[in-house]
Amino acid sequence: MVKRRIDPLLAVGLTFLILLILFAVFGPSLRAAQLRTDGKTIDAVLDPISHSHSKPGGNAPLGTDEIGRDIVSRLAAGARASLFVGLVVQSLSLLVGIAVGSLGALAPRWISVPLMRFTDGMFAFPDILLALLIIGVIGPGLFPVIVALSITAWPSVARLVQGQVASLKDREFVVAAKATGAPIGYLVIKHILPQLWGILLAVSMIDLAGTILAESTLSFLGIGVQAPTPSWGSMINTARGSMNSYPLELIWPCVTLSLTIFALNFVGDGLRALVDPKG
């Protein structure tokens, strides 16, 4: 096997994502432990630790927000919200997308044709409208965001899987397995899907960037994750109000979010190049 050079952007992106996950998981509790004073426990994300809009330094490395809460902890909690929404939505969309895509490629025509036409329709429909409608019905919040983004995310996966499965199903190894009498479900899970994990992983990373972007857009608009739970989008929206005097409070969430989106795209592109060197 030829040893390939690792794409430097892929390495940078992966490192950033690993650090981000650690930051999201351990950040708030580590900060709480640091900030604990004379035995009193404090919620580093929700409790004020200093006067409002304090400058970076001292016990708040990035300063505090408009009601004196620690910005580092809130960024970590925002990462937690974004990653949570992203992972749940992507898992659901993979599950539904693989099921629909496989059916679209392997089921009899009276099932597959209407199913894929429906998928195409959902794919063409602007995601934001459907998401806004769903949130308009069930009201703003974390759960409605997950529902809305899951419903809009699966069609792209289904189309990808359908295309891939359709091109794999006539290959010799599948035909051979079929000839031995393997049932269709076994065929898909044991023989076809293992060929797709690489490309699905790569595409999921790029879709994950889209989901995180959509979550923060909705939170920025005030109809996503609701206060007092922080989200990068709502932090950006709040910080706009005082950006004349405290521009740094706007910069932190903007930079964190943008770097995350860049990192996910780097990782997605890098993985795709690894999986499919021709493409």
Partner 1 sequence: MPNLRPVRLFRAISIRLLFGALSLLFISLVTFVAEAMQPGDIVTALAGEKASEEVKMRMRHEMGLDQPWPVRYVKYVSDAAHGDFGKSYQGTHQPVSEILAQTVPVTAGLAAMAILLASSVGIMLGTLSAVYANRAPDRAILSFSTLGVTLPNFVLAPILVLCFAVYKDWFAITWSVGGAFLDPYYLTLPVIVLAARPTALLTRLTRASMVETLQQEFIRTAVAKGVSQSGVIVKHALRNAILPVVTAIGTSFGVLLTGSFVVETAFVIPGLGQKTIFAITQGDTAVIQACILVTGAAFVGLNLIVDLILPLLDPRIRESQV
Residue 258 as a binder of partner 1 (CB under 8 A): the answer is yes
Q: Is 156 near partner 1 (CB under 8 A)?
A: no
The number of residues in the chain equals: 279
**Residues 238-257 close enough to bind partner 1 by CB under 8 A:** 239-240, 243-244, 247, 250, 254, 257
Q: Applying CB under 8 A, which part among 20-28, 73-81, 95-103, 123-131 lies near partner 1?
A: 123-131
Query: Does the footprint of partner 1 cover residue 9 (CB under 8 A)?
Result: no
**Cis amide bond preceding 155, omega within 30:** no
223 binds partner 1 (CB under 8 A): yes
Q: Which is nearer to partner 1, 120 or 276 (CB)?
A: 120
Kindly state whether residue 236 participates in binding partner 1, applying the rule CB under 8 A: yes
Contact 135, 223 (CB under 8 A): yes
Is residue 92 exposed (0-12), middle (13-18) or buried (19+ Cβ within 10 Å)?
A: middle
Structure-block tokens of residue 26 = 């351990």
| By the rule CB under 8 A, 124 interacts with partner 1 | yes
Place of tokens 């490309």: 199
Instruction: State the minimum distance, in angstroms, from the CB of residue 118 to partner 1.
Output: 9
Among 23-31, 75-83, 159-167, 217-225, the segment contacting partner 1 (CB under 8 A):
217-225
| Choice between 52 and 265, CB closer to partner 1 | 265
Contacting range for partner 1; rule: CB under 8 A; set: 15-23, 39-47, 69-77, 129-137: 129-137
Closest Cα partner for 209 from 137, 134, 268?
268
Q: What is d(CA 8, CA 121) in angstroms, rounded to the nearest whole number? A: 38
Cβ–Cβ under 8 Å, residues 151 and 92: no
